[in-house]
Every structure is written in C-alpha cells, then in structure tokens.
Structure 1
Amino acid sequence: MEEIKMIVDGTVTTPLGFTAVAHAAGLKKENQLDLALVVSESDCSCAAMFTKNQVVAAPVIVDRETLAQNSSRLHAVVINSKNANACTGEPGLANARATQKIAANALDCQPNQVLVLSTGVIGVQLPMGKLEAGIVAGAKGLSRENGRLAAEAIMTTDTHPKHLAVQVELPGGPVTIGGMAKGSGMIHPNMATMLSVLTTDAAVAPDLLDGLLRMAVNRSFNRISIDGDTSTNDTILLLANGVSGTAVTDPESIAQFGTALNQLCTQLAHMIVRDGEGATKFVEIQVAGAQSEADAHQIANTVATSPLVKTAFAGSDANWGRLLMAAGRAGVAFDQTKINLWIGVQQPDELQLVANGTPTEYQEMDAAAVFAEPEFKILLDLGSGGGGTAVVWTTDLSHEYVSINTDYRT
C-alpha cells in the first residue's frame, strides 16, 4: 500500500509552484477578505466539474467555454465571495469575462489561462471597480504563505476555512495534492461541491486528470448533503503544473495518485458537512444489500435529505420509522420484510433496531443515546442479496439553519 501523508495544515499552495493571495476588495463589510487568487508558476493541465442546475452563474458559463478552448495551459484562478454573479444576464457574463482580462493583465498571461469563480448572493451585479482594484493590488502580494488566507477569503456562511493537503510517494518520486473548499448551505452536489480548488505538482494529462477528478468527486463531494439544494455556482477545479518533475502515466502511479486524491476530496467533503449551516450532528448513512450501487446511493440520498429524518436528528429522536419511510419513497424496489437497520457511534452495527422488517427488543434509551451524539452512523441493509452499497454524509436540520437563511441577505 502506498504511503499517503495527510498534511492537516496544508493548502492549495502546499504543492510546489503554486502561490496565492487574499485581499479585502470591499465586497464584504468591515474590511473582510473577499477575493482570492491562486496562481501557478507554470502552465497547468486542468479538469473541472460544474453544477447540473439548469440555472447557472456567469462564471460557470465562462469557465466551461474557457476549458473547451484550453485545458492544458491554465495559469490562475480568481475567486470572489459575497456576490455569486448568478442570474445577472449579459452584464454578468461581460463582468466574468472582464475579470479574466483584468487578472491576465495583472499576471502577464492570456485571458483564456484564467478561470473565475464567484459565490454569494444571487441576482446582484459585481462591483467591477472594487474587483479590478482588488485583483491589481492582490497580484502584487502572491506568496506560498497565503494558502490559508485564500481559503478564508472564499467563505460565505462558513464558520472556518477548509483546506488540506496530502503527499504520496509515486514510483517516479513524491507529489503533493492540496485543496481548499467553501460550503455551508445550499449543499446537495450533483457534480462536485460549492466551490473547491485543488492543486498538484504532479504532471498529469488533461484527459487523465478529468477521469481521476470525476472518480474522486463521485466518492466524496457527490456523497454529501446539508439541505438538498444544488447551487447555481457549484464548481471544482483540479490544476496540475508538473513542477515536481513526477509524471502520472503508468498504471501504478495512476492508482496511487487516484487514492490520494480520493482521500483529500473525502476529507474536504467531511469538513463541509461538519460546518453545515446550523448543524449540530454529523451523520453517516450506509445502505447495503441493494441491487446496484446506484440504487443504494439513491436510497441513501433520499434518507439524507428528508426533512423529517433531519429534524429527528436535531431532536436526538431515534424515530427510525422516518428512516424507513424515506427509503421507501426513493423510487427503488425492495422487500420491506427483509430490511435490517442498525445504528452506532463507533461502528454502524452496534445496536439493531429492525430485523427482517420487524422491530427488535432494543431499549429506547439506548437508541436515543446514539442519536444524542454529535456524530453517529446508520446502516440500512435491504436484504436483497445484492452487492450494491453506498455511503452519504449529512447533517441535522436545526432552528439555527432557518435563522441563518432567514437573515442571509441582511
């Protein structure tokens, strides 16, 4: 097994050849950081995944267009918070493209070597004067030391920055993968996460990078849900600059790099769930015994997004009937008389609540104690004999979530 080192304080600038800057451009109040640049010293291969929402932000449209033209010579990413530049029409598209040009001029590269990301309030035009001044000023302060501040600058309702890096020893030498993510509400990805930028100093061809990213995302960011809403801006980028001198080409390197990328994405995805708006619980939902992985995922997702299930989590109420109700409306056929249900804190099968569709003689106080924990696991076995399994991570739905989103624009 390859040696993968988790660098807890790692960031997007931990991989060789990447710098960043965070700047207070005036989009947020009280001189808060609201603009970040991530820049590579060398051209990058790039892979990306975007929201499947039919209503998409201008940066998503512009980045799709850019990557269709150029996926092997990317140089920089510009990210602003506070303003999503979504539902802003032609002016919004013009502003996103102008942002590319402003950054290209400041960084001495071409506009199609710059990707743009935005997050924040929908339906408001970007204050381009502030943004331009921030980019020009920020480009003068690029440093490898600014990775954590960049993760802070992209936050919206997040309570803390989310960043991490991993290092893996490949046959050709060590490579590092770093990343940052933001997300706390409007979290139910159907491609990736809200915003995430991943970087690596490995040399990876764009097509291979794309396949590795999709595999990692489908095991991590696509397995989380906070409130069931898929954003207009969801984007994840993976940039590879090759500065380490180690190429990912042979089967062993591809497998090892993929494993490290999966671990990084899973940890970042967990950070998003743990920081969910108003969340007091981190819940892992496992579904087994389905006819296919897709069926298992569909059931787990339905349970994870059920308001009745999530409010039961919030109230520490082991009302397992809501779990079965949600599973039953997922649109997947199964025999309810074969269902087995367990819950646990350390392991998901510590306490069995249902056996072959019938309640066991468990003690209610024992079940309530599990649901009262800040983190616990649920295992639902459909008993069909199939090998389909899936895991989804979710939160409770608390009064605080409603309060945060009631006051979001004020």
Structure 2
Amino acid sequence: MDASHYRVLDGGGVTSPRGFVAAAVAAGIKQSGRPDLVLVAAEGDCAAAGVFTRNQVAAAPVLLDRETLAANSAAIRGVVINAGNANACTGAPGLADARRMQALMAEAVGGRPDQYLVMSTGVIGVPLPMACVGNGIRAAAPLLAATNGAAAAEGIMTTDTRPKSLALTVDLPGGRVTLGGMAKGAGMIHPDMATLLGVLTTDAQVAPDDLAALLQEAVAGSFNAISIDGDTSTNDTILLLANGASGVVVADGPGRALFAAALGELCRALAMMVVRDGEGATRVVTVRVTGAATPADARRVADTIATSPLVKTAFAGGDPNWGRIMMATGRSGVALDQHKLALAVSGPDEPPLQLVRDGTPTDYHESEAAAVFAHPEFVVHVDLGLGAGEATLWTTDLTHDYVTINADYRT
C-alpha cells in the first residue's frame, strides 16, 4: 500500500477509532496481580466479523463467538476478555461460563448478552474463577474510556513481554477513517487461522458480509502467515468491529481497495509484533518460497521450513547450515526436482547471497553466509524452479529460553 494514503497514529490502539472505549483491571484470575480482565465496548451497534482456530479442540469462547456472530453480526456492542485462563477443555460448564460472561457484560455496560463476544487466554483445562470474572467486569465497566487502549493491550498479555497495539488513519473517497487494534501472542503460534488473540476496530461503515471478506483477506497475509513453534491454540480468535461512527461507507471500488490495504497493513504490523516477541526468540526470519507448481505447494514448503526444529535451532545459533533448509524442503511432501532447487539468503537492505543453484552449492564464502545468519532479521529464499506458485511466512529461531518458558508455564 502506498504510505501516502495512510498515517500511523503515535500511541494508537484499539480505542483510536471514534466511538470505542476500553478498560482493564486486575480481577485476580492471574496469581501475579497483573491486569487480567479487559472490556472493549462501542458506543452503538457494530458490524462484526471473526476468524477462528481450526483446532478441533476449540475453547468455549470460540464456540460461543461463532454462534453469536452467525446470529447477530450486525449488532455487536463489544468484547469481554480474560487472561490467565483459556476456558478450554472445560466441557458444558465452560460454555455456560462463557455465556455468563456475555450476560455479565450486558448487565454492566448495557444491551443484550448476544451483543457481546468473549475471548479467553491462558492455561487450558482449568475452570474459570467466575467470582473473579464477575467482580472484574463490574469493576471495569465504570472505567470504560477512549484513553484506555494501551491498558487494554497490556491486560490481555500472558507470556508476552510487551503489549502489541497500533492504529492508523486512511483517506477514502468518502472521507477519513481510523483503524485500530491490539493483539496478544508469543507462543503456540502457527498459521492455522489466526494463531493468537486480536481485537480490531474501525469507525468506517461496512456491511457484515463485506467485513467478513475483508478480514479473511487481511488475515491470510498476516496472522495466518506467522509461525513460532508450530502449535495452533485452542483459543485463536481475531475479531473486527466496525461502528460506522465516521459516516464513511466502505463498499465496492477504490474505497474498498484502500480500506482493504489499510486493514492488511494493520494486521501485518500486529502480526510482526507477535513474531518479534516470540517466546525466547532472538531472530526473525522471512521464509519465501517461489517457483512452485501451485501456491499451495509453496505454502507447504514454507511451512515445513518454518517449523523444522533443526532449521530453527540453526537459526538460533547463527549457523548457515543450509543443508537443513534443503532437507525440510525435500520432506515437505511437495513433488519437486532437487536439481532445479535454488537457495539465497539476505540481510536487511543487502543483495541476496546465492548459496545453491540448480541443486548445487555455489562458490560463496562461508563467512559471507555466517554474516547473514548473524542478523537479528534476515530472509531465506527457496526457489523450486517449477512454476509461478509462491508463498511467504515469517518465523523465529528456537532457543533454550523457549524451553525454559514452556517447561514451567503453570508455575
């Protein structure tokens, strides 16, 4: 997207669009005493859309939000989010607790229970402490304000080391609109929908069906193109709310294209914040695959490279052991001709260094390759030499710290 069409707002977030407010409190769900209960509300009905995990063990909030949006995507009023407990693998009682969160939100903020969506994140398989949740919702409701976007982004964190939020404005033919958002995620991140929690807002006026299509497009090239550890959560959810407060309608034509590009930029920026905050991560790697017979083949190869423990540990050590990348390419299950394979790597603002051409090592110098792999961010480009299919994923290295964080996550 041409940057002249949009402007990033300093300190912007989920409440930057007109008509959105938020609040965050420490409800006691986490033992740390940190904020763990967040409300995001709109001053009026919103069109809403969601993209959810494909994990067949789906958390109660995912099941409930799918049901709620199927019945009422044109009149959503807000989202209630808790951190510290996923409300996943909790059976019928967990679903009842999620419905109770809707009801408590409606009682505290106004409207009907089915006008609110629910998100949870944290430990799987533990019942929600509903007394804490209820007290937290009641305590947060009077604090709802447009100035609390940053607090909301902090309140949804679990193993994140920093909050993730952003907002931008974009000039459409009908006027200026604002898009904002926040996300959380640092582990259990893999492209199988959205791979984290995120709430996106806009003051543009968009029909629910159009909003759903726009969200799907934006997620495909952002939240659905990042991988930290190859695991997809039970709770993955991205929600988009449009309240129309700007009076600017997004429909077909140039306005839709500009809005779609701005939404895609917002999602990509938030997704990259997630990758850069990956649990224990010290390097961010762009995996680009070209020359595949189909885009699906390219995606499969990129996915295999991005999730290979051997590849990712080599990244961690700054070791240009490119044979592991070739190994992952070959075991991806995609039909290929090893004698047509090419591999290049490049650091930021550097020309590509060709390591393999026609399946054969080039005469590169090992020191040159090591210098690229030592960068905190670099690109790995594999070309299969078979067609026009291509795909790009963003991944991280795999370090000792990742094991440390996840070995005692519940303690």
TM above 0.5, one fold? yes
Tell me the residue number matched to 1:256. Answer: 258
- Are 1:227 and 2:229 counterparts? yes
- Aligned-residue identity in percent: 60
Partner of 1:89: 91
Residues 113-262 of structure 1 mapped to structure 2, 5 A cutoff: 113-262=115-264
Equivalent of 1:362 in 361, 364, 372: 364
Native 8 Å contact 2:165 2:181 kept in 1: yes
1:86 Cα deviation from its structure 2 partner: 0.3
- Cα offset for 1:347? 4.9
d(CA) in 2 for partners of 1:82, 1:348: 42
Confirm whether residue 392 of structure 1 aligns to residue 375 of structure 2. Answer: no
Contact 1:342 1:351 in 2 (8 A): yes
* 2: CA distance, partners of 1:7 / 1:215: 23
Partner of 2:383: 381
Quick check: 63-72 or 290-299, which moved more? 290-299
Q: Distance in 1 between matches of 2:353 and 2:239?
A: 41
Question: Aligned AA for 2:230?
Answer: G
Amino acid aligned to 1:164? L
SS at match of 1:283: strand
CA distance in 2, matches of 1:268, 1:59: 22
Alignment partners' CA distance in 1, 2:351 and 2:94: 51
Q: Which amino acid aligns with 1:117?
A: M
So what's the TM-score if we normalise by structure 1? Answer: 0.98
Letter in 1 for 2:213: G
Does structure 2 conserve the Cα–Cα contact (< 8 Å) formed by 1:342 and 1:348?
no
Q: Using a 3 Å threshold, how does the CA distance of structure 1 residues 215 and 348 change in structure 2: closer, same or farther?
A: farther
1: CA distance, partners of 2:229 / 2:342: 26
Give the drift of 1:109. Answer: 0.7
State the alpha-carbon separation in 1 of the partners of residues 174 and 346 from structure 2.
Answer: 42
Aligned to 1:39: 41
Cα RMSD for the two superposed structures? 1.0
State the shift of 1:88 in Å.
Answer: 0.5
How many pairs align?
409
Counterpart code for 1:107: V
Give runs of aligned pairs for residues 261-340 of structure 1, distance below 5 A.
261-340=263-342
Amino acid paired to 1:374 = P
In the aligned structure 1, how far is the partner of 2:142 from the partner of 2:136? 10
2-structure distance, mates of 1:121, 1:31: 16
TM-score (norm 2): 0.98
Unmatched segments (≥5 aa) in structure 2: none
Please state how far the C-alpha of 1:7 moved relative to its aligned partner: 2.2
Residues of 1 paired with 2:297 and 2:11: CA distance?
37
Provide the rounded CA distance (Å) in 1 between the counterparts of 2:132 and 2:224.
Answer: 34
CA distance in structure 1 between the aligned counterparts of 2:283 and 2:275, rounded to whole angstroms: 9
Q: Secondary structure at the residue paired with 2:18?
A: coil
CA deviation profile, 1:262-292 (whole Å, cap 9, x unmatched): 0000011100000000000000011111122
Equivalents in 1 of 2:80, 2:14: separation in Å? 13
One-letter amino acid of the counterpart of residue 65, structure 2: D
Q: Deviations over 1:29-64 (max 9, x none)?
A: 242100100000010000101000010100011111
Q: Shift of the alpha carbon at 1:250?
A: 3.0
CA distance in 1, matches of 2:191, 2:81: 19
Q: Is the 8 A contact 1:342 1:349 kept in 2?
A: no
Q: How far is the alpha carbon of 1:68 from its aligned partner?
A: 1.2
Contact kept, 8 Å, 1:82 with 1:119, in 2: the verdict is yes
Conserved in 1, the CA contact under 8 Å of 2:195 and 2:232?
Answer: no
- 2:6 pairs with one of 1, 4, 7: 4
Distance (whole Å) between structure 1 residues aligned to residue 222 and residue 108 of structure 2: 35
Contact map agreement 2:87 2:121 (CA 8 A) in 1:
yes
State the alpha-carbon separation in 1 of the partners of residues 282 and 62 from structure 2. 32
Deviations 1:66-112 (A, max 9, x none): 11110000001000000000001111111000010000011111000
Secondary structure in structure 1 of the residue aligned to 2:85: coil
1:346 CA displacement: 2.0
Shift of 1:348: 7.2
In structure 2, the CA distance between the partners of 1:185 and 1:365, relative to structure 1 (3 Å rule), is same
Aligned residue type for 1:192: A
Deviation of 1:8 after TM superposition, in Å, equals 4.5
**Counterpart secondary structure, 1:120:** strand
2: distance between equivalents of 1:105 and 1:299? 49
Alpha-carbon offset, residue 350 of structure 1 = 2.1
In the TM superposition, what is the alpha-carbon distance from 1:14 to its structure 2 partner? 0.3
Quick check: 1:401 aligned with 2:402?
A: yes
**Aligned equivalent of 2:61:** 59
SS of structure 2 residue aligned to 1:213: helix
Any stretches of 5+ residues in structure 1 without a counterpart? none
Amino acid at match of 2:27: A
Contact 1:340–1:355 under 8 Å retained in 2: yes
